[in-house]
């Protein structure tokens, strides 16, 4: 083991603009969401490997010796991070008891952990260690919680295995890896995502790794160099929805009314491009109220466009209406049809306005957090810098 | 006088699709709204000309002899219905007391009446007659109430003067004029509109004259041959708005975000064309539920597009939300920013659903009427066929 202890975090993801349009070859902007997943890894001498996921009431522990048997035949090495090892995956599915259709969060999280752990350590003697993961992100809400988990796993296990160095230096609170190491983290996180989701786009793990903002177009992911940090409210209407059905609904509407819907997709594409340009301006010139006016107007326009595409929901209309009574602008983020929305806060938005808005949204039965978008990707934390609240979730050592 | 008595009505107007887009060279569909304005003309021997407009508490009467003085120099004849006689208009403005800025409804209605009356009768001896007009249309709500008034005036006074024949035959309840006579009615009604509005598009008087549906594109007005009669609710949110400011707002948004807004205008254009095509199908093949599904979807899409253009209003969102809880689809009609909305009713929509919806909308503080669009334009009525409720408004003879 190359580290005795480390704390790592990765952000969630929100779609700022371009959800649904991206399916039809248009630009989408994905941003990091500063609701983070935290992972603590500790080397132990218990002869056990333990995985604690308090968010989903999962506390697992295996003897190193039983895991060693699973790893025996593994030929995966870090150089093979581009594709899954089907043999190892098969053995692990059997070991974890994942049969067809049993795709619950707990099993998927366990599979991803064991796969990355055995792939990175399996060629030698397995170490005994404990991993605890706690997340501020709601799961299954389209906010990249599984990717943040996979990114944390990849960064922690790559660091522990010595494949990449721990970046944290004395006296620093947080530190990030170099570009090359982040690429390795991202590619192993993508493996985790593939195990959990089957056929992920790779956007979520890229945002979790690089943070900031990414431009996503026709399967190509381009991290954008500099974006401002934007204060937002993230609201979960908790209205369940099926992304698959919503995507199919847009496709149906497009097939039914191509002359009406195709221009709408072009318009959404232009929204993403205008937003990207505005955010770029905000990092290269003094930020003005007009920049925020434009961002707000783009949010309003895109929310209406998403209603044109048929992926709105009364709960999202309520979100927009409630926040607008406080002068704040909102749109759905992700699949729509319920799910989550983001509300832009201006730098001058008073904390009392924020608190009243949050209260009004909670009165609607929604979950609501004040957070930010555009913040850093995966990073290592010095333990004192991690808020007590989060350390507490890792439980007693 | 060629008739001793006649009752004439003309419908209001609603924009079905394309409001605002029409300003930018796209198609709009204007439809007749079966909230009608009724006019009763009676020849008298009182030596007086009287004009009763109970909707706006206006009851005026002039001696024929004083009007004869105003007419003396008039050179206007029915052949000159294409342009206003500036001299006659100047004399009438002075007579009525319309000075700059005094553009109240009462003065404008009086001016329009006297102008058409003197133009059509002024070359000979003026008759004594009484004209009463009562309307189901709210005024100033963008529903073409002034055009319906002008169309009724033109039809009644042209008929009374003998310029066109009274179309009503024995035993018929209602009758309409031939195409050529309607063109004359429309052109005199347009003069009335010019007096009242300064620079009208001509759409409102065309709808009031021809009824049904008109396609309006780049100033050209094309009546559509056959359209189905559609049941609707017409709701007036009573939120005041400035059409001028709303039109300017769309232009500003277009100038600010051309790449975003131009495709939206194209999309709205396609909505109008798709709607026109669907309505044409409904007159040439059996009407199915799918026809109504398309009409509802187009209404939802266009309402969201109008929000993209920035001409929505919370009161209109409420209208859409309330009607949707009853399974009914709504959009704003006209300028937006408050004002009026239309809600499509399906043939099978139960009357209890309609009543509950109307009640819910009235509970929001809105006015709401069940009516229809696509019905007949100007027509003459046999007195027994006019509902008692309406005759009552004409007061005792």
The pLDDT tens digits for B97-153 are 887 666 789 999 999 999 999 999 988 899 999 999 999 999 888 999 999 999 999
For testing the chain B interface, which of A274, A298, A301 should be mutated: the one with the most B CBs within 10 Å? A301
Q: Is the ipTM of this complex over 0.95?
A: no
**CATH topology of A5-225+376-394 equal to that of A230-373?**
no
pLDDT tens by residue, B289-305: 999 999 999 999 999 99
Distance CA B182, CA B151 (A): 10
Hey, are the CB atoms on A253 and B304 less than 8 Å from each other?
no
> For B44-188, where are the E strands, in sequence order?
48-53, 58-63, 129-135, 174-175
A160 in Cβ contact with A220 (< 8 Å): no
- Token representation of residue B348: 């099978």
Hey, are the CB atoms on A263 and B266 less than 8 Å from each other?
yes
Hey, are the CB atoms on B274 and A264 less than 8 Å from each other?
no
For testing the chain B interface, which of A252, A263, A265, A298 should be mutated: the one with the most B CBs within 10 Å? A263
Distance CA A353, CA A155 (A): 38
Helix (H, G, I), strand (E, B) or coil at A99: coil
- Position B124 scores a pLDDT of 85
Cα separations in angstroms, A241 against A75, A185, A322, A342: 40, 31, 21, 17
Those residues whose C-beta lies under 8 Å from the C-beta of residue A198, and which sit 6 or more positions away, are none
Hey, are the CB atoms on B304 and A301 less than 8 Å from each other?
no
Closest-approach residue (CA) in chain B for A266: B263
Cβ contacts of A307 on chain B, cutoff 8 Å: 300, 304, 307
CATH, range A5-225+376-394: 3.30.230.10
Closest-approach residue (CA) in chain A for B261: A267
| A231/chain B closest Cα distance in angstroms | 24
Catalytic entry in B85, B181, B204, B269: B204
Cβ contacts of A274 on chain B, cutoff 8 Å: 257, 259-260
pLDDT tens by residue, A97-130: 887 666 789 999 999 999 999 999 988 899 999 9
Q: Does B278 contact A at CB distance below 8 Å?
A: no
Cβ contacts of A317 on chain B, cutoff 8 Å: 317, 321
- Token representation of residue A70: 């699973």
Closest CA to B161 of B125, B214, B199: B125
For testing the chain B interface, which of A308, A322, A332 should be mutated: the one with the most B CBs within 10 Å? A308
Of A259, A308, A321, Cβ closest to residue B304:
A308
Q: φ and ψ at A134, to 5 degrees?
A: -135, 140
A69 in Cβ contact with A125 (< 8 Å): no
- For tokens 């979790």, name the residue: A208
pLDDT band at B384 (very low <50, low <70, confident <90, very high): confident
Percent of chain B with pLDDT over 90: 82
Those residues whose C-beta lies under 8 Å from the C-beta of residue A79, and which sit 6 or more positions away, are none
Closest-approach residue (CA) in chain A for B272: A260
Hey, are the CB atoms on A271 and B260 less than 8 Å from each other?
yes
Hey, are the CB atoms on B270 and A253 less than 8 Å from each other?
no
| A113/chain B closest Cα distance in angstroms | 44
Averaged pLDDT in 10-residue chunks for chain A of 397 residues: 93 97 95 97 96 95 94 57 85 86 85 96 91 93 95 98 93 93 96 92 95 94 90 96 93 97 98 97 94 98 98 97 97 96 97 98 98 96 82 65
Hey, are the CB atoms on B270 and A260 less than 8 Å from each other?
yes
Hey, are the CB atoms on A301 and B271 less than 8 Å from each other?
no
| B314/chain A closest Cα distance in angstroms | 8
pLDDT band at B8 (very low <50, low <70, confident <90, very high): very high
Hey, are the CB atoms on B301 and A274 less than 8 Å from each other?
no
The pLDDT of residue B78 is above 50: no
Closest CA to B319 of B218, B208, B239: B239
Hey, are the CB atoms on B297 and A257 less than 8 Å from each other?
yes
Report B:284-343 residues touching A (Cβ under 8 A).
297-298, 300-301, 304-305, 307-308, 310, 312, 314, 317, 321, 324
Distance CA B39, CA B155 (A): 10
Q: Does A47 contact B at CB distance below 8 Å?
A: no
- Token representation of residue B331: 């959009």
Hey, are the CB atoms on A257 and B274 less than 8 Å from each other?
yes
Instruction: Please give the mean pLDDT across all residues of chain B.
Output: 93
Q: Does A259 contact B at CB distance below 8 Å?
A: yes
Start-to-end CA span in chain A (Å): 18
Helix (H, G, I), strand (E, B) or coil at A245: helix
Strands A220-224 and A213-217: antiparallel
Cα separations in angstroms, A157 against A43, A185, A186, A393, B395: 11, 9, 13, 20, 91
Closest CA to B50 of B3, B117, B145, B107: B117
For testing the chain B interface, which of A252, A257, A260, A297 should be mutated: the one with the most B CBs within 10 Å? A260
B204 included as an active-site residue? yes
Closest-approach residue (CA) in chain B for A272: B260
Instruction: Taking residues B42-48, report their average pLDDT.
Output: 95
Closest CA to B247 of B20, B17, B3, B89: B20
- Token representation of residue A254: 């497009």
- Position A397 scores a pLDDT of 46
| B8/chain A closest Cα distance in angstroms | 41
Angle at A178 between CA A160 and CA A33, to 5 degrees: 85
Hey, are the CB atoms on A257 and B301 less than 8 Å from each other?
yes
Hey, are the CB atoms on B314 and A307 less than 8 Å from each other?
no
Handedness of CA A18, A22, A25, A28 (dihedral sign): positive
Distance CA B25, CA B178 (A): 31
Cα R_g (chain A), whole angstroms: 21
For testing the chain A interface, which of B304, B313, B324, B330 should be mutated: the one with the most A CBs within 10 Å? B304
Cβ contacts of A295 on chain B, cutoff 8 Å: none
Helix-, strand-, coil-residue percentages of chain B, each rounded to 5: 45, 20, 30
Helix (H, G, I), strand (E, B) or coil at B334: coil
Handedness of CA B238, B243, B245, B249 (dihedral sign): positive
Helix-, strand-, coil-residue percentages of chain A, each rounded to 5: 45, 20, 30
Of A270, A305, A324, Cβ closest to residue B259:
A270
Hey, are the CB atoms on A270 and B264 less than 8 Å from each other?
no
| B9/chain A closest Cα distance in angstroms | 37
Q: Which CATH number fits domain A230-373: 3.30.70.890, 3.40.50.300, 3.30.565.10, 3.10.310.10?
A: 3.30.70.890
Query: In terms of pLDDT, which residue wins out, B2 or A320?
Result: A320
Domain ranges of chain B: 5-225+376-394, 230-373
Buried-state track B101-132, b at ≥16 Cβ within 10 A, e below 16: eeeebebbbbbbbbbbbbbbbbeeebbbbbbb
A321 in Cβ contact with B321 (< 8 Å): no
Hey, are the CB atoms on A261 and B271 less than 8 Å from each other?
no
Helix (H, G, I), strand (E, B) or coil at A30: strand
pLDDT tens by residue, B277-336: 999 999 999 999 999 999 999 999 999 999 999 999 999 999 999 999 999 999 999 999
Strands A48-53 and A129-135: parallel
Distance CA A341, CA A316 (A): 7
- Token representation of residue A150: 């996979």
Strands B48-53 and B129-135: parallel
A152 in Cβ contact with A37 (< 8 Å): yes
Cβ contacts of B263 on chain A, cutoff 8 Å: 263-264, 266-267, 270
Count CB-CB contacts under 10 A for residue A92. Answer: 24
Distance CA A209, CA A62 (A): 28
Those residues whose C-beta lies under 8 Å from the C-beta of residue B251, and which sit 6 or more positions away, are B23
Q: What is the pTM of this model?
A: 0.91
Closest-approach residue (CA) in chain A for B314: A321
> For A5-103, where are the E strands, in sequence order?
5-17, 28-43, 48-53, 58-63
Report B:93-152 residues touching A (Cβ under 8 A).
none
Catalytic entry in B119, B145, B146, B372: B146
Hey, are the CB atoms on B257 and A305 less than 8 Å from each other?
no
The pLDDT of residue B48 is above 80: yes
- Position B397 scores a pLDDT of 46
| B232/chain A closest Cα distance in angstroms | 22
Closest CA to B241 of B346, B94, B340: B340
- Token representation of residue B354: 């309609």
A26 in Cβ contact with A269 (< 8 Å): yes
Residues paired with residue A41 on neighbouring β-strands, in sequence order: A6, A131
| B267/chain A closest Cα distance in angstroms | 4
Q: Find the DSSP H helices in B122-238.
A: 145-161, 179-197, 203-210
């Amino acid at each position: 083991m190359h580290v005795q202890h480390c704390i790592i975090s990765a952000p969630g993801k929100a779609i700022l603009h371009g959800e649904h349009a991206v399916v039809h070859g248009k630009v989408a902007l994905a941003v990091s969401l500063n609701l983070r997943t935290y992972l603590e890894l500790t080397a132990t001498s218990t002869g056990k490997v333990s995985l604690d996921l308090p968010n989903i009431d999962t506390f697992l522990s295996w003897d190193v010796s039983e895991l060693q048997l699973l790893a025996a035949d593994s030929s995966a090495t870090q150089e093979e991070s581009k594709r899954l090892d089907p043999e190892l995956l098969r053995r692990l599915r059997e070991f974890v008891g994942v049969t067809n259709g049993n795709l619950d969060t707990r099993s998927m999280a366990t599979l991803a952990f064991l796969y990355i752990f055995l792939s990175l350590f399996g060629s030698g003697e397995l170490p005994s260690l404990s991993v605890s993961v706690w997340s501020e992100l709601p799961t299954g809400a389209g906010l990249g919680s599984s990717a943040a988990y996979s990114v944390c796993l990849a960064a922690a296990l790559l660091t522990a295995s010595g494949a990449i160095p721990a970046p944290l230096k004395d006296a620093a609170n947080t530190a990030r890896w170099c570009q090359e190491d982040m690429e390795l983290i991202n590619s192993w996180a993508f493996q985790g995502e593939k195990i959990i989701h089957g056929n992920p786009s790779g956007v979520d793990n890229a945002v979790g790794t690089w943070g900031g903002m990414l431009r996503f177009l026709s399967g190509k992911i381009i991290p954008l160099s500099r974006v401002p940090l934007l204060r937002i409210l993230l609201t979960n209407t908790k209205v369940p929805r099926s992304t698959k059905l919503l995507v199919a609904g847009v496709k149906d509407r497009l097939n039914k009314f191509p002359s009406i819907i195709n221009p709408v997709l072009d318009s959404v594409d232009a929204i993403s491009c205008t937003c990207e340009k505005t955010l770029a301006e905000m990092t290269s010139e003094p930020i003005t109220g007009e920049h925020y006016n434009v961002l707000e107007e783009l949010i309003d326009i895109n929310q209406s466009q998403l209603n044109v595409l048929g992926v709105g929901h009364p709960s999202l209309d309520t979100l927009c209406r409630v926040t607008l009574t406080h002068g704040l602008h909102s749109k759905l983020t992700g699949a729509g049809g319920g799910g989550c929305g983001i509300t832009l806060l201006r730098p001058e938005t008073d904390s009392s306005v924020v608190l009243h808005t949050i209260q009004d949204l909670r009165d609607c039965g929604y979950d609501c957090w004040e957070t930010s978008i555009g913040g850093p990707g995966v990073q290592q934390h010095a333990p004192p810098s991690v808020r007590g609240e989060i350390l507490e979730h890792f439980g007693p050592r």
